[in-house]
Structure 1
Amino acid sequence: MKMEWAMQFERCRQAVEVAESRLNTANAVNRLKELLKEAGWRDHIDCQLGSKTMSARQMDACAQVNFAKFGSAWSTLDDMYGALGFATMKVGVTGKTFSKEISGTQHRQHYFHVEHVGLYIRDHYDFNGIQYLGTWTEDRVLTKSETLITLHPQGNLIIRLKDGPFAAITNANFRNYRVEQIKGGDFIIYSDIMWKKSDQIIELGTWL
């Protein structure tokens, strides 16, 4: 999946803004410190984290610091709703630590210089539970307004006369298909990474 495609949709653009705004939260800084320590950062040893050659999957493992959920049952029934529905916008960073001596003490104040911010989508496809997947005819999925119309006897008849038989599809239908056809499964998808140049400084505090 390409972020260029996803950014056509307003809810994706909003998720990018929210995820970016969470780079400097307490949780993000704590996560960043953990990742840096895993990468070799110490009180007197600076550390480079990540690079622009990383894939989204690699960033997810070693440089992702926060996220924003997006999509809901009330989202517009468009291509993004069909492809993702509910998804997670993740944000990661590349850059390097540096430190300064605190005057009059033996301690050092540590910082992280963000060189690039990476944004990407992670979503998982599983068919557990009873999630509703839409109301379908043989040829298409009904819009949300059409689905509401089918709840009334008159509307139900109108849709059937117009489009033929239809049915509400849930995860159970896919599970049954999977058993009968021995096809399909659960999986995780990642988009590519949308990179943004940055010069932000994140304060890491003193070494603990």
Structure 2
Amino acid sequence: MTYFREFQSLVDSSEFIHPNAPGAHGVAGYCRVPGPLGMHNFSNVAEKFGALREIAHPLSPSMMNGGVDDINRIAESLAYGPEDIPSTMRKKGWHQGANLMEFRLNGAAKVMTEAAADGSISADEYGAYSTGIVTMDWVESFPRAINAINQLKTILNTPKARDAIKKRILANFANVVISEKTNLVIDNSHLDIKSLHFKWQFQRYRQGSIFETPDALAAALGRFNVMAAIRKAVVADGFIYISEVEIYIRDVFDFSGFQWLACWTESEVYRLGVAPFCSMFTNGSLRDYRIKSGRGMDFLVFSDSRVDQVDISFSML
């Protein structure tokens, strides 16, 4: 009966209680089941925060006839959980983030491997990826994403990028000895984005931070990488001449390590602190949910691509 006594101590000091509760005397009110923070709230103004669920008060005769197990069952079914996050995102207009979260929640439990995350193995080999949810048209609707793309374009011909290009050429033409007499034509326009990334990606620019103000882009991708891969090039006279690159987004959608994921209600997200009636989530919360439910697939995210005309050339010898 500890559970009941805990509720009773709050009910006695609140005028907003269920009318069927002992001593309520017909006063209309609501009861919210305990959330992840263990807070118990009975004020009917909670409805303004979007997290209120109207249920029979645990001290009502109907619930008293049931018992703690019934209350816990109802509490578990009504409490805001990870499966509710996509709904909140949609209410805020964060549709890409909602689609990505649903994609993860609908997939069987799968933990991102280091090899998949760092690109040592292909997305096809890892076996969990999305290529249709995020588009460059949508990404480029955010000024900070455009800035990241422009920053990437400024580092396509750096010494580091040239070294990466050389490695890509040597890996993809392992049986060819590069010399002044070598002539190669590279046309990757037929490759899908997953294969292009795995075989020909050579430069990237990291955008965002864990302190990003929540918006549609942060909800979908958080910190993400803008990538560049060779689309068209020629190797001749000991030089490489690159005329086209593809620019795209590649991200890892997982919840490894520790990160605060804000406090959520059915209609709002609070980045800092804890607001009344909200449910707090961290990366660990999503991992725990995966263990408990058997759902939660870590996956790779690819956007479509933009073709950019470039003039990059240097000696391969």
State the TM-score, normalized to the length of structure 1. 0.79
Are the aligned partners of 2:157 and 2:312 in contact in 1 as well (CA < 8 Å)? Answer: no
Aligned with 2:304: secondary structure?
Answer: coil
Q: Which residue of 2 aligns with 1:78?
A: 215
Greater strand proportion: 1
Q: Which residue of 1 aligns with 2:242?
A: 114
Are the aligned partners of 1:95 and 1:114 in contact in 2 as well (CA < 8 Å)? Answer: yes
Shift in Å, 1:118? 0.7
Q: Does 1:191 pair with 2:299?
A: no
Are the aligned partners of 1:178 and 1:184 in contact in 2 as well (CA < 8 Å)? Answer: yes
Q: Which residue of 1 aligns with 2:314?
A: 203
Structure with max Cα Rg = 2
Shift in Å, 1:64? 1.2
Q: Which residue of 1 aligns with 2:172?
A: 39
Shift in Å, 1:137? 1.5
Residue-pair matches, total: 179
Q: Which structure is richer in relative contact order (CA contacts within 8 A, separation 6 or more)?
A: 1
Q: How far, CA to CA, are the matches of 2:153 and 2:206 in structure 1?
A: 13
Q: How far, CA to CA, are the matches of 1:190 and 1:121 in structure 2?
A: 6
Q: How far, CA to CA, are the matches of 2:190 and 2:212 in structure 1?
A: 34
Q: Which residue of 2 aligns with 1:30?
A: 163
The aligned runs of 1:2-151 (5 Å cut-off) are: 2-40=135-173, 42-43=178-179, 44-93=181-230, 94-99=232-237, 110-142=238-270, 144=271, 147-148=272-273, 150=274
Aligned with 1:54: secondary structure?
Answer: coil
Aligned with 2:246: secondary structure?
Answer: strand
**Could you list the runs of 4 or more consecutive aligned residues of structure 1 that deviate by over 3 angstroms after TM superposition?**
none
RMSD value, Cα: 1.7
Segments of structure 1 that go 5 or more residues without pairing to the other structure are 100-109, 151-158
Shift in Å, 1:38? 2.3
Are the aligned partners of 1:55 and 1:192 in contact in 2 as well (CA < 8 Å)? Answer: no
Are the aligned partners of 1:50 and 1:59 in contact in 2 as well (CA < 8 Å)? Answer: no
Q: How far, CA to CA, are the matches of 1:61 and 1:73 in structure 2?
A: 27
Shift in Å, 1:50? 4.1
Q: Which residue of 1 aligns with 2:53?
A: none
Q: Which residue of 2 aligns with 1:170?
A: 282
Q: Which residue of 2 aligns with 1:102?
A: none
Are the aligned partners of 1:33 and 1:204 in contact in 2 as well (CA < 8 Å)? Answer: no
Q: Counterpart of 1:31 in structure 2: which amino acid?
A: A
Q: How far, CA to CA, are the matches of 1:55 and 1:196 in structure 2?
A: 17
Identity of aligned residues (%): 24
Q: Counterpart of 1:96 in structure 2: which amino acid?
A: V
Q: How far, CA to CA, are the matches of 2:281 and 2:162 in structure 1?
A: 42
